[in-house]
Chains A and B, each alone.
Chain A
């Protein structure tokens, strides 16, 4: 029983030693580096950023994402239901209608609270 865990332990040790070995070897072999402006930049490709990166995002994006998430999940449930609709029968139909009504109430509420407006 415990020998099974030896594999995991070995894997763990290997996982630690790999990056250590790679970084350690690189530290030994590489030439002494000097920090310069180019090297301290976050990415060495693409265009330079204009202005500060600490900007405020509108909370509307978040609200949209929340409403979107609910309907994304709805689609995931609806899709297999639609594919197998013929063999599922009336019970599944009523079940899905109940599910949709509950989601619809949620949408109505989000609408009332102004989550769908952009300001």
Chain B
């Protein structure tokens, strides 16, 4: 039993060890801590890949280890490794507290991993809080920058509010069914008006976490204010974690014949795709652009949960994984540009195609993948999501998704245009550190590879969602 929990145990001990190192070597040994964190996360990643159990339920159902949880654990670990690698130079902005930064990253990853495996609403809530509290600190990490502090405080207040809403929903479910174990809730549901409000409250709570419109208000400000590597991690991993938990809760517990939460979610998804993409059109800051684009992406992902069939659920997993590489690739380039110019405006990308052809190429491929242009990986993901919606009878939703994807091409290509046609006062670009180069190559190659040959990932995601399809 303990051997199955080894990824979580190692991540937790690594986090404690890193904090301890921060106490023993204050302001020193950052390189050691960084290497240790990356090495540890890679080891945990291998371990998570190796644990290939079908389904193992631990501690009377409060923790589940299955292919679905395994998939998301690998996703979070990959995301964390890529973020740490791509921002090895950027962390110098965190004057004096670099070691702790890695500690909080590890705790956030631990929270996400437990979220993916939670089989009980309270375990889920504790894991969610572990992740979000780590993020409150990470968002406010550049203490000498006003925007970062402001973003941290905003995130704290709104995060606490959304957790409260989620918890209220959970308490109602517990009051009506007498259990918080997900697998038992399903069989104890009865026709109750209060249950409908419970489901809506839980939907709203998760909506905050994955930034569905109208619960998205926090996203742009916090994404803009946070240090850029934290923004990258927040946009990719915390969203995937929220979605992972949301899918498990809604598919395995709330199969209600009398209340159609799919329709509510479909409306939210449609609104999210429309508003997210339209507002992204007018952004001039790359972090804000990627923030609104990530809101829109949450809309696409929610389409899969609305469909709730094989294609839809497979699409969620496929698209989340693809989104990790595409979005982190785009952010990794933005980190390099911020290292160079100290700003995040899109016009700073001017002439990047000449100054650093490699960075411009990675950015172009990643953005096109986010837009869903074949043969890149984003296209395959969107294909699954929208086919799922059509199969489930939500043709209008798939239509909105396709239309909005087309609109999104404009703002993604706008950045590409600035990179290749725009002007810049500078002639050269500083050298990229080797670790960031590695992360950029991984993002670039996987985005292209999974688009051309999606079969391995399709097989894997199909295997992971099998347990939801009975």
Contacts and interface: CB of A to CB of B under 8 A. Distances in A.
Interface of A: 1-2, 5, 101-102, 105-106, 108-109, 112
A2 B19 contact: no
Given A102-B16, A108-B20, 6 more contacts: A2-B193, A5-B193, A105-B16, A105-B20, A105-B23, A109-B22
Interface of B: 16, 19-20, 22-23, 26, 191-194
B19 A105 contact: yes
Contacts of A112: 22-23, 26
A29 to B, nearest CB: 40
Contacts of A1: 191-192
A1 B176 CA distance: 13
B16 A109 contact: no
Contacts of A105: 16, 19-20, 23
Nearest to B103: A109
Contacts of B23: 105, 108-109, 112
Nearest to A5: B193
A contact face: mostly helix, strand, loop, or mixed:
helix
7 contacts: A5-B194, A101-B16, A105-B20, A105-B23, A108-B20, A112-B22, A112-B26
A101 B17 CA distance: 11
B126 to A, nearest CB: 13
Contacts of B193: 2, 5
Nearest to B100: A109
A16 B366 CA distance: 57
Contacts of A101: 16
Nearest to A1: B191
A106 B19 CA distance: 8
A107 to B, nearest CB: 10
A92 B20 CA distance: 24
A109 B19 contact: yes
A2 B23 CA distance: 59
Q: Top 8 nearest A-B pairs by Cβ distance?
A: A112-B23, A108-B23, A105-B16, A105-B20, A109-B23, A105-B19, A109-B19, A102-B16
A108 to B, nearest CB: 5
Contacts of B191: 1
Contacts of A5: 193-194
A101 B19 CA distance: 12
A105 B13 CA distance: 11
A1 B191 CA distance: 8
Nearest to B17: A105
Contacts of B192: 1
Contacts of B26: 112
A2 B195 CA distance: 12
A102 B20 CA distance: 10
